[in-house]
Amino acid sequence: MPPEPDPAAVAVPAVPYAFEMSPATTALVIIDMQRDFLLPCGFGALLGNDVTMLTSIVEPLGELLGAARAAGLMVVHTREGHRPDMADCPPAKLARGRLDTPIGSPGPNGRILIRGEFGHDIIEELAPADGEAVLDKPGKGTFYATDLELMLRNAQIRSLIVTGVTTEVCVHTTVREANDRGFECFVPADCVASYFTEFHEVGLKMIAAQGGIFGWVGSSLDLLAALGAGRPVLTTIQGA
Ligand code: C5J
């Protein structure tokens, strides 16, 4: 049975059609905005990526985070990484890429992708506030091996605004996991990023294609307006 219409719902312009959400039943999920992915010498950089490809989302995501807090949305931050003894790191993940400096190796920001290390933590600009959930996840998806689903169901959350990095890896995996669990996902295109422009663009297209097979793609400006923190603007959604 479809859920009862919510009188507090707002409509956010999106592809393939307007996304309806209610602040009381929506969570902002910020995926892996960690130094290890965004700073030079972290995991992302050691994989050969240009980390500056990710920095453009920090400012709009910061604004969205402020608006979400002001509107009372549940906020969830995630961090990809492993226990110091790496008992939760699958050997296949560790071996992948045949890296000279694999996960767990010492680096300028501490041991790579290891919990408690400087590089593993979230960048200052998007630091979690008191009371906001911070989920440590060993995989790419945010539902795998975490208590996210339990927390969302207990809080009666139906919709997720999914942001962070990278578009085609942890963001996409999370959107797919959420979709299969019955959550509605909105992805603001200017608050997700990839080291690869083409993967970012096609990743967004894949979410909204076929009538929104995984969810909706829109812009943070329209979300801000819907949350009462800005005026509606005519936006072009890159990649959607
Ligand atoms: C990756 C992530 N790309 N957060 N992790 O390995 O997308």
Q: How confident is the model at residue 231 (pLDDT cuts 50, 70, 90)?
A: very low
Q: How confident is the model at residue 230 (pLDDT cuts 50, 70, 90)?
A: low
In this predicted structure, what is the pLDDT of residue 46?
A: 86
Residue 236 has pLDDT above 60, yes or no: no
Q: Is the CB of residue 17 less than 8 Å from the CB of residue 148? A: no
Question: Burial, 7: exposed, middle or buried (Cβ in 10 Å; 0-12, 13-18, 19+)?
Answer: exposed
What three-state secondary structure class fits 127? coil
Q: Is the CB of residue 206 less than 8 Å from the CB of residue 3? A: no
Beta-strand ranges (E) seen in 18-139 are 19-21, 26-31, 74-80, 133-137
Q: Is the CB of residue 218 less than 8 Å from the CB of residue 186? A: yes
CB atoms within 10 A of CB 226: 24
Report, as residue numbers or ranges, the catalytic residues. 32, 137, 170
Q: What would the pLDDT profile of 60-86 be if each residue is shown by its tens digit? A: 999 999 999 999 999 999 999 999 999
Ligand 1, atom 4: closest residue by C-alpha: 170
What three-state secondary structure class fits 163? strand
The alpha carbon of 165 and the centre of ligand 1 are apart by a number of angstroms equal to 6
Q: What would the pLDDT profile of 82-124 be if each residue is shown by its tens digit? A: 999 999 999 999 999 998 999 999 999 999 999 999 999 999 9
Whether 32 lines ligand 1, by a CB cut-off of 6 Å, is yes
How far is 201 from 167, CA to CA, in rounded Å?
9
Whether 169 lines ligand 1, by a CB cut-off of 6 Å, is yes
Q: What would the pLDDT profile of 1-21 be if each residue is shown by its tens digit? A: 666 777 789 999 999 999 999
Q: How confident is the model at residue 41 (pLDDT cuts 50, 70, 90)?
A: confident
In this predicted structure, what is the pLDDT of residue 7?
A: 78
For a pocket test of ligand 1, which of 94, 169, 199 has the largest count of ligand atoms closer than 8 A to its C-beta?
169
Instruction: Write the DSSP symbol of residue 170.
Output: I
Peptide bond into 188 cis (omega under 30): no
How far is 160 from 216, CA to CA, in rounded Å?
10
Nearest-atom number in ligand 1 for the CA of 47 is 6
How far is 41 from 45, CA to CA, in rounded Å?
5
Question: What does the radius of gyration of the chain's CA atoms come to, in whole angstroms?
Answer: 17
Q: Is the CB of residue 161 less than 8 Å from the CB of residue 68? A: yes
Q: What would the pLDDT profile of 119-159 be if each residue is shown by its tens digit? A: 999 999 999 999 999 999 999 999 999 999 999 999 999 99
Tell me the mean pLDDT in the region 156-168: 98
Q: How confident is the model at residue 234 (pLDDT cuts 50, 70, 90)?
A: very low
Whether 165 lines ligand 1, by a CB cut-off of 6 Å, is yes
| Among 1, 27, 2, residue whose Cα is nearest residue 158 | 27
What three-state secondary structure class fits 199? helix
| Among 26, 22, 28, 27, residue whose Cα is nearest residue 10 | 22
pTM of full prediction above 0.85 = yes
The alpha carbon of 59 and the centre of ligand 1 are apart by a number of angstroms equal to 20
Whether 38 lines ligand 1, by a CB cut-off of 6 Å, is no
Q: What would the pLDDT profile of 180-201 be if each residue is shown by its tens digit? A: 999 999 999 999 999 999 999 9
